[in-house]
Amino acid sequence: MSESENADESNNRGKKRNLPCGFLFTGVCFLIFIVVIFLCIFQFRIFDSPIAVENFDGEEEGGWLVLGDAQGESEFPTLQKTGGNPGGYMEAVDDAVGGVWYWAAPETFRKAVSDRWSSGDGRSRAALTFDLRQSALDSPFEDEDVIFSNGTLSLSFNHNRPPEIGWTSYKVSLDVSKGWVNDEFGEAASEEEMEKVLGNLEKLWIRGEFRTGPDTGGIDNVIIR
């Protein structure tokens, strides 16, 4: 065998010995890639999982109330099983006798928020989302659109966008820098104040009346995630 053939054979044996190492390195890199992707998806699902949900698709109103000049002398809204976004939804008729009426979340919904918030779960990118509609668009007026309170401290948010006759979707960030106000002082709410309120949420109101005069309002898909 010539000297050059011996050299070629030696190189081939070296390549064969190095081949498993190359496969091992590739396999480890692929495994790391899969783990990173899995952790990213898992983390996103945790942060995106709902803290509290009400879609009004059950047989009862779930404890939600209407507070203010609506539904006559009753605090109970009307559960409509069709016409929602989609499925069922809650409806209330304005009495048009002055004041502003609101949708009020039940204790079960509020407690779910406080329990998760106090545990530190779900705070990242948290937001309140809901769908609204109203029966007429003329004579609009402004007021507090969302109100949170722990009984002693009240925070409010104005989205400045009345709903349409069809369903209108809203997303209200729970980041205080996005426009939350301390109602007592009329100043921007602090992160500490939001922590106190959501840690013991006794009031969660969403405005249902947006115009002067009689009208009918609807709400669907109230979610904090």
Does 124 share its domain with 22? no
Does 72 share its domain with 162? yes
Instruction: Give me the phi and psi of 191, to 5 degrees please.
Output: -65, -35
For 2-25, what is the mean pLDDT? Answer: 52
What's the confidence (pLDDT) of residue 161?
Answer: 94
Q: What are 63's two structure tokens? A: 């404890």
Rounded CA separation 93/96 (Å): 9
The answer to whether the CB of 113 falls within 8 A of the CB of 76 is no
What's the confidence (pLDDT) of residue 39?
Answer: 42
Does 29 share its domain with 56? no
The answer to whether the CB of 148 falls within 8 A of the CB of 201 is yes
Does 186 share its domain with 168? yes
What's the confidence (pLDDT) of residue 7?
Answer: 46
Cβ neighbors of 207 (< 8 A, separation 6 or more) are 100, 102, 103, 143, 144, 145, 146
Q: How many helices (H) and strands (E) does the chain have?
A: 3, 13
- Tell me, yes or no, if the pTM score tops 0.85: no
CATH number, residue 164: 2.60.120.260
Does 100 share its domain with 198? yes
What's the confidence (pLDDT) of residue 60?
Answer: 78
Residues paired with 220 in a beta bridge:
131
What's the confidence (pLDDT) of residue 119?
Answer: 63
Where in the sequence is the domain holding 75, given as residue range(s)? 51-224
**pLDDT higher for 31 or 7?**
31
What's the confidence (pLDDT) of residue 50?
Answer: 87
- Annotate 24-73 with DSSP letters as a single string: HHHHHHHHHHHHHHHHHHHHHHHHHS-SEEE---SSS-TT-EEESSBSTT
Segment 123-140, tens digit of pLDDT = 546 899 999 999 999 999
Does 153 share its domain with 42? no
Number of domains in the chain: 2
What's the confidence (pLDDT) of residue 62?
Answer: 85
First vs last C-alpha separation in the chain: 75
Does 28 share its domain with 72? no
Segment 37-47, tens digit of pLDDT = 444 433 433 44
